[in-house]
Chain A
Amino acid sequence: MKITLKVWRQKNKESKGAFKTYVHNHVSSDMSFLEMLDVLNDELIRKNEEPIAFDHDCREGICGMCSLYINGHPHGPVQTTACQLHMRSFKDGETITIEPWRAKPFPVIKDLIVDRTSFERIQQAGGYVSVNTGGVPDANAIPISKNLAEEAFDAAACIGCGACVAACKNASAMLFVSAKVSQFALLPQGQVERKARVEKMVAQMDAEGFGSCTNTYACEAECPKGIKVTNIARMNREYLSAMVSSHKIESKGGGD
């Protein structure tokens, strides 16, 4: 196959980027999208041109590291991660445009690589159950109905890639945040911190500058793991309920 690529090149965070066009003559339909870029990079290096920087790691669709915006879709035309997209999804002679995730809270670091540490800070704000190692009850002391466990799992399957943000015209992170909030709101282990969790995670999400949700559902349509927008509805309910019964308790410390 022969493919024309229009790739976003940007030296670093500070510099202004631009599209650069490459004609790629050595594409096989069996290649993954990232392997197609590998082969191009190999050719660029041989011509002493700097290769295209892009994030990737597991190449099995689970680590969430790859983050390419391909022909106007996060991860490209198929609802999967870019590493699981194969060139057989494209036509011979096609022109493909590759950009980084576009969102203010995801600044470009270089070429197609963005900084997603805003996601980290949201998780750090409360995306966990506060238990220390050891001293926990026997695993079967907490029975959980199969349906509930499955529903929590559906939310927990999020890989934190940020495609939902890239897909959204408002750069909203609601799908990502609501997936974690939902997992723990559904499970008995998450009940104790249920209200505090949603409050803290939403507050951090807002502080990072992610936009609002206007229910276009573009996030769900592009999510490589099929995370449902019903999680967003759940998070809205959780948030409302938490705000109504604002429960903030300041620790007094001390004790004897």
Chain B
Amino acid sequence: MKLDSKIPEGPLAEKWTRHKFNLKLVNPANKRKYDVIVVGTGLAGASAAASLGELGYNVKAFCFQDSPRRAHSIAAQGGINAAKNYQNDGDSVFRLFYDTIKGGDYRSREGNVYRLAETSVNIIDQCVAQGVPFAREYGGLLANRSFGGAQVSRTFYARGQTGQQLLLGAYGALNRQIANGKVKMYTRTEMLDVVVIDGKARGIITRDLTTGKIEAHSAHVVLLCTGGYSNVFYLSTSAKGSNATAIWRAHKKGAFFGNPCFTQIHPTCIPVTGTHQSKLTLMSESLRNDGRVWVPKKAMPGLKSKDAINLPETERDYFLERKYPSFGNLVPRDVASRNAKQVCDEGRGVGSGLAVFLDFTDAIKRDGESVIRAKYGNLFDMYQQITGENPYKGPMMIYPAVHYTMGGLWVDYNLMTSVPGLFALGECNFSDHGANRLGASALMQGLADGYFVIPFTVGDYLANIGWNDKIGTDHPAFKEAIDGVNERVNKLLTIKGNKTVDEFHRQLGLTMWDYCGMSRTEEGLKKAKKIIQDLQAEFWTNVNVLGSSNELNQELEKAGRVADFLELGELMIDDALNRSESCGGHFREESQTPEGEALRKDDDFAYVAAWEYQGDGQPEVLHKEELKFENVKLTQRSYK
């Protein structure tokens, strides 16, 4: 199969406008004849479900939480980028496009990224109209800040809770359509399979998490908006429930998986305290604007914050400032993370050994505690709440953690996967961030996809197939899919082995973190592949899941998700093995510059790796979508 990205012809700035005109429309009176399924209700899902409901389609929306408002978009802190140029500081759609392409280390599509930058301005308008309380200046207009090392101030924010406020805006829009009867909402419901008949997505199979009831739902199109797969690593900044089951089931039904090894590691997270650790908490990287990162020059195992304040300057190594004099502590996320790992690998980590200091002493001396409190008060409070230590009195300890997955289901320009009728939006698709996502761009992409792309492109698909092209749940394929789901559930419950689900998950996570995390080698990846294959085999013979299928059973939910993570983890390793270059967040030790920076190999790897499932135990087939750059020149990143 040849991958067709369906990027429209024409000049970059006109592609989306032309494309929209060329898309077919559904007659307003016919919209009510179409059924749409939306899985996941974060920024992408809630905005898509609401917008499609407003247009008149019949929408069924699903989330595993008890309310759409709890999707993990809610936890995003920093902000949302938009090329409004309200600050008159030289921003433009083209500059946001350029920064995003470059930040992604030239592994994303020009056409998609330009559209993202173009629609970013509409998002802010939409959210303000909904009553999202963005930060404002005294004159009443919207405030902006510079974020993630950007040279312009284009980030809109709502204190440290931007994701929460944007999601509550989309949740309100969704609620309005639920009240209008255009969206039927299924909470505490998990998608366990997608039904594909004669090559087209026709519906999904779900499990009611309260009663255990397995149900079939049919529709003309299925939209997956189910977020990222960072929880493959067990410890990540994702929510405990965040999972890859929907996209992995879709992958096994024919949807190609794009760039699975592209994961983002965030440098400023709170370090692990012990084996009980269940998740990691991120603190906004805005902290690096004023905090200085350091470790002792000589190893001082177990060094604590309260002792560190007395360590003379001459015995400290401000390693980011030393290695990157011009960017200093503000180097991109991947560079900051890798360097923290490196100094800890050298034995110079502090606290547990897997931590570095983030020190505000100089900033407090310079600006006064009240200024620092005004800027970062909520983050300092959060740090103190979690660690029990006062960051005004001694340096914070931080360590990198998995935060975002740039990879995801392969989609074309219309956000349709390789299965017709199956779309993927937001973090669960691979499309816009290349090998590395810029800060404040995840919220932008989720809402761009849901509010401003999918209403057009889904309409085109529906107009082309026609409203009478729908298959009901009485079709044997639905029955077959239900049987498959039931069989899997029952199998998990009857193994009754000796290991808990979490034990498998932790082992998988540690393996992925050690060999497929911040720094990867061919040898390590091959070793990890073997470990994971063994874990997969052991899982299906030795996991212990108690309880039954016809009740609320959280262990059963976890078991199904971990089984999928185990398979996805292996594909991530295959992809990391195949891509023997370094780019963005993907660092292959074999491919680095003499200074130890990531070295891209554009001649060999300027493509999207799209993986096709071939059946259990079979190696997946790699398809390459060549990336063409007509508007930007590929350069090597340098932060010296």
Contact at A53–B552, with CB atoms within 8 Å? Answer: yes
Residues of B contacting A31 in the complex (Cβ-Cβ under 8 angstroms): 273-274, 276
Contact at A110–B551, with CB atoms within 8 Å? Answer: yes
Cβ of A184 < 8 Å from any Cβ of B?
yes
Cβ of B542 < 8 Å from any Cβ of A?
no
Residues of B contacting A125 in the complex (Cβ-Cβ under 8 angstroms): 179
Cβ of B126 < 8 Å from any Cβ of A?
yes
Q: Given known contacts A38-B276, A49-B546, A149-B136, what 13 new A-B pairs fall within 8 Å (CB)?
A: A38-B502, A42-B503, A64-B67, A65-B70, A84-B386, A116-B66, A117-B67, A125-B179, A131-B129, A133-B126, A139-B125, A139-B142, A184-B131
A38 to B544, CA, bound (A): 16
25 A-B residue pairs with CB within 8 Å: A12-B551, A35-B277, A36-B276, A51-B546, A55-B66, A57-B72, A58-B74, A60-B279, A62-B74, A62-B75, A63-B74, A86-B385, A110-B551, A128-B172, A133-B51, A133-B455, A134-B452, A137-B125, A139-B129, A143-B139, A144-B136, A146-B136, A160-B67, A183-B133, A189-B129
User: Which of the segments B157-165, B422-430, B517-525 contacts the partner chain?
Assistant: B157-165
Residues of B contacting A128 in the complex (Cβ-Cβ under 8 angstroms): 130-131, 172-173, 175-176
Closest residue on chain B to residue A44 by CB atoms: B546
A-to-B contact residues, CB < 8 Å: 11-12, 28-32, 34-36, 38-39, 42, 45-46, 48-51, 53, 55-65, 80, 84, 86, 88, 109-110, 113, 115-117, 119-120, 123-134, 136-140, 142-146, 149-150, 152-153, 156-157, 159-160, 183-184, 187, 189-190
* Cβ 8 A contact of B552, one of A57, A110, A137: A110
Q: Give per-residue flags for B535-557: 1 if the beta carbon is below 8 A from chain A beta carbons, else 0.
A: 00000000010110001101100
Smallest CB–CB gap between B555 and chain A, Å? 6
Residue with the greatest number of chain A CB neighbours at <10 A, chosen from B72, B129, B551: B129
Closest residue on chain A to residue B553 by CB atoms: A53
Residues of A contacting B158 in the complex (Cβ-Cβ under 8 angstroms): 153
Contact at B555–A45, with CB atoms within 8 Å? Answer: yes
* Cβ 8 A contact of B173, one of A29, A61, A119, A133: A133
Residues of A contacting B390 in the complex (Cβ-Cβ under 8 angstroms): none
Smallest CB–CB gap between A3 and chain B, Å? 13
B-to-A contact residues, CB < 8 Å: 47, 50-51, 54, 65-67, 69-72, 74-75, 84, 86, 122, 124-131, 133-142, 158-159, 161, 164-165, 168, 171-173, 175-176, 178-179, 185, 187, 210, 239-241, 273-274, 276-279, 281, 382, 385-386, 388, 451-452, 455, 500, 502-503, 544, 546-547, 551-552, 554-555
Contact at A48–B175, with CB atoms within 8 Å? Answer: no
Contact at A109–B552, with CB atoms within 8 Å? Answer: yes
A145 to B138, CA, bound (A): 6
* Cβ 8 A contact of B129, one of A34, A35, A137: A137
Contact at A42–B128, with CB atoms within 8 Å? Answer: no
What is the interface of chain A mostly: helix, strand, loop, or mixed?
Answer: loop
Closest residue on chain B to residue A149 by CB atoms: B136
**When A34-B278, A84-B386, A140-B86 are in contact, do A63 and B175 touch as well, CB less than 8 Å?**
no
A22 to B161, CA, bound (A): 37
Residues of A contacting B175 in the complex (Cβ-Cβ under 8 angstroms): 120, 123-124, 127-128
Smallest CB–CB gap between B499 and chain A, Å? 9
A157 to B168, CA, bound (A): 10
Residue with the greatest number of chain A CB neighbours at <10 A, chosen from B71, B135, B239, B452: B239
Contact at A183–B72, with CB atoms within 8 Å? Answer: no
Smallest CB–CB gap between B544 and chain A, Å? 6
A189 to B132, CA, bound (A): 9
Contact at A63–B239, with CB atoms within 8 Å? Answer: yes
Closest residue on chain B to residue A189 by CB atoms: B131
Contact at A156–B128, with CB atoms within 8 Å? Answer: no
Contact at A57–B65, with CB atoms within 8 Å? Answer: yes
* Cβ 8 A contact of B122, one of A115, A134, A153: A134
Contact at B173–A140, with CB atoms within 8 Å? Answer: no
* Cβ 8 A contact of B75, one of A32, A60, A117: A60
A187 to B187, CA, bound (A): 30
Closest residue on chain A to residue B496 by CB atoms: A48
Smallest CB–CB gap between A83 and chain B, Å? 9
Residues of B contacting A187 in the complex (Cβ-Cβ under 8 angstroms): 131, 133
A145 to B136, CA, bound (A): 7
Contact at A145–B140, with CB atoms within 8 Å? Answer: yes
Smallest CB–CB gap between B534 and chain A, Å? 22
**When A88-B388, A187-B133 are in contact, do A124 and B164 touch as well, CB less than 8 Å?**
no
* Cβ 8 A contact of B554, one of A53, A58, A124, A143: A53
Closest residue on chain A to residue B551 by CB atoms: A12
**When A38-B276, A58-B75, A136-B129 are in contact, do A86 and B136 touch as well, CB less than 8 Å?**
no
A53 to B86, CA, bound (A): 49
Residues of B contacting A153 in the complex (Cβ-Cβ under 8 angstroms): 133, 158-159, 165
Residues of A contacting B134 in the complex (Cβ-Cβ under 8 angstroms): 139, 149
Residue with the greatest number of chain B CB neighbours at <10 A, chosen from A29, A80, A84, A140: A140
Smallest CB–CB gap between B183 and chain A, Å? 10
Residues of B contacting A12 in the complex (Cβ-Cβ under 8 angstroms): 551-552
**When A12-B551, A140-B86 are in contact, do A64 and B133 touch as well, CB less than 8 Å?**
no
Contact at A46–B276, with CB atoms within 8 Å? Answer: no
Residues of A contacting B124 in the complex (Cβ-Cβ under 8 angstroms): 139
Residues of B contacting A117 in the complex (Cβ-Cβ under 8 angstroms): 66-67, 187
Smallest CB–CB gap between B330 and chain A, Å? 24
